[in-house]
């Protein structure tokens, strides 16, 4: 399924860690700030203090650099989600959703530039192999949530009069938009997540999960 992305050269991999990470950090910042097309390799080499030619000994071209960054991002996402789900493995469906939301919030706090790059990939058209990149990230929560919803329906925890796809859609929309709102205040429809303190944020998450539970639990079966 997943086509292979070009790797950095050995020369890059053998670089001292400090230099390697400095270049990567500068490049991540540049792509986050400007998007794929407008990101300038001249800026990257200038700000990371290396020569233009060196960059082309580390990566095949602009795409190669970008794909490597995106691969780092997907690795970080997978680690983050797996850790969250491991902790909530035995909890019920909605508790697992809550764990996913918190993992997302922590991810955005820790790696805002990577999340910004992800948003750009999702919504810009001129990113090379965009749909393939998006699917690499989205496949994970979707493939996880689909079976979970179906299991919930079989167990009677989720109403069975709606398609599983619709349940997944609504949950996915709410969760993804919640994280977008957290990262981009002008998307939060008045929730003002970024102005909330820890406790208020916690309340907002709990409330959202509670409303989703009401939407998906069999009718007449209150919270």
CB of 22 to its own copies, least distance (A): 23
**Of DNA, its own copies, none, which one sits near residue 181, judging by CB under 5 to 8 A according to partner kind?**
its own copies
Cβ atoms of residues 171 and 97 within 8 Å: yes
Q: CA-CA distance, 168 to 173, in Å (whole number)?
A: 8
**Of its own copies, DNA, none, which one sits near residue 52, judging by CB under 5 to 8 A according to partner kind?**
DNA
Residue whose C-alpha is closest to residue 137's, from 99, 105, 104: 104
- Name which of 40 and 135 has its Cβ closer to DNA: 40
CB of 54 to its own copies, least distance (A): 27
CB of 37 to DNA, least distance (A): 7
**Of DNA, its own copies, none, which one sits near residue 40, judging by CB under 5 to 8 A according to partner kind?**
DNA
- Name which of 20 and 159 has its Cβ closer to its own copies: 159
**Of its own copies, DNA, none, which one sits near residue 85, judging by CB under 5 to 8 A according to partner kind?**
none
**C-alpha 80: how far from its chain's center?**
10
Crossing angle of helices 198-216/93-110, nearest 10°?
Answer: 140
**Of its own copies, DNA, none, which one sits near residue 78, judging by CB under 5 to 8 A according to partner kind?**
none
- Mapping DSSP to helix (H, G, I), strand (E, B) and coil, where does residue 88 land? coil
Lookup: tokens for 15: 């670089």
CB of 15 to its own copies, least distance (A): 29
Query: Would you give the DSSP letter of residue 195?
Result: G
Cβ atoms of residues 133 and 3 within 8 Å: no
- Number of C-beta neighbours around residue 188 at 10 A: 18
Residues that bind DNA (CB under 7 A): 10-11, 14-15, 39-43, 50-54, 56-58, 61-63
Burial of 130 (0-12, 13-18, 19+ CB in 10 A): middle
Residues that bind its own copies (CB under 8 A): 33-35, 37-38, 116, 119-120, 122-126, 131, 134-135, 138, 142, 146, 159, 162-163, 165-170, 172-174, 176-178, 181, 186-192, 204, 207-208, 210-212, 214-216, 219-220, 222-223
CB of 29 to DNA, least distance (A): 14
Q: Which residue matches tokens 């959202």?
A: 208
């Amino acid at each position: 399924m997943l086509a292979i992305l070009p790797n950095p050269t050995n020369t890059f991999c053998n670089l001292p860690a400090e230099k390697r990470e400095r270049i990567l950090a500068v490049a991540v910042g540049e792509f986050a700030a400007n998007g794929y097309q407008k990101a300038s390799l001249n800026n990257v080499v200038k700000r990371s203090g290396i020569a233009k030619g060196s960059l082309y000994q580390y990566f095949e071209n602009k795409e190669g650099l970008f794909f490597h960054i995106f691969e780092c991002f997907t690795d970080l996402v997978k680690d983050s989600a797996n850790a969250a789900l491991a902790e909530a493995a035995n909890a019920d469906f909605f508790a697992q959703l809550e764990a996913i939301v918190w993992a997302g919030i922590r991810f955005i706090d820790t790696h805002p530039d990577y999340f910004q790059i992800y948003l750009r990939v999702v919504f810009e058209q001129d990113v090379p192999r965009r749909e393939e990149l998006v699917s690499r990230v989205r496949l994970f929560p979707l493939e996880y949530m689909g079976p979970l919803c179906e299991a919930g329906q079989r167990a009677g925890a989720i109403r069975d009069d709606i398609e599983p796809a619709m349940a997944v859609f609504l949950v996915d929309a709410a969760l993804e938009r919640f994280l977008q709102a957290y990262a981009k205040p002008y998307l939060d429809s008045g929730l003002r997540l970024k102005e909330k303190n820890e406790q208020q944020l916690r309340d907002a998450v709990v409330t959202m999960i509670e409303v989703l539970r009401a939407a998906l639990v069999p009718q007449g079966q209150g919270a």
